[in-house]
Structure 1
Amino acid sequence: MAIKYEIKETIGQLSESSKGWIKELNLISWNDRDPKYDLRDWAPEHEKMGKGLTLSTEELKKLRDILNKMEL
């Protein structure tokens, strides 16, 4: 069974590899479910994807709070 996904919004790009894959934060609907925030590598034109991390709005807010407390 193929995984169905629809990128609802591209929020931002974090980096690009030498092979052209781009690490992006997107809002994605997986298998027609409510969209979640998703961080992963994408091949050009989004034809392939790497492993990623999917976060609910609450999880993303907690991550933001953790990052804001860090000294970078």
Structure 2
Amino acid sequence: MADIKFEIKETVGILYESTKGWKKELNFMSWNDKEDKYDIREWAPEHEKMGKGITLSRDELIKLRELLNGISF
């Protein structure tokens, strides 16, 4: 399996933190030197391990915000 290269440019916010220190974060980042995108996933305390996540373009993130704003709680 090839190495995955990533660079977190900005941590936008933390959505959740487990008792073991893993954090579900929204980050603006680059994967394998490609275009920067928004990414939601769980990270180990020093970002040495990661869980499965979802990566969104700016337009996709805007659409997600619109969808979330339409939800009645």
Pairwise TM-score range, normalised by the shorter structure:
over 0.9
| Equivalent runs, 1:7-46 vs 2, <5 Å | 7-46=8-47
CA distance in 1, matches of 2:12, 2:29: 10
Q: Could you state the TM-score of these two structures normalised by the residue count of structure 1? A: 0.96
Moved over 6 A (4+): none
Higher helix share: 1
Q: Could you state the TM-score of these two structures normalised by the residue count of structure 2? A: 0.95
For the aligned residues, what is the CA RMSD?
A: 0.6
How many percent of aligned residue pairs carry the same amino acid? Answer: 65
* Cα shift at 1:17: 1.1
User: Aligned partner of 1:12: which letter?
Assistant: G
CA distance in 2, matches of 1:49, 1:27: 15
| Structure 1 alignment gaps of length 5 or more | none
* Cα shift at 1:71: 1.1
| Structure 2 alignment gaps of length 5 or more | none
- The size of the alignment, in residue pairs, is 72
CA distance in 2, matches of 1:19, 1:71: 32
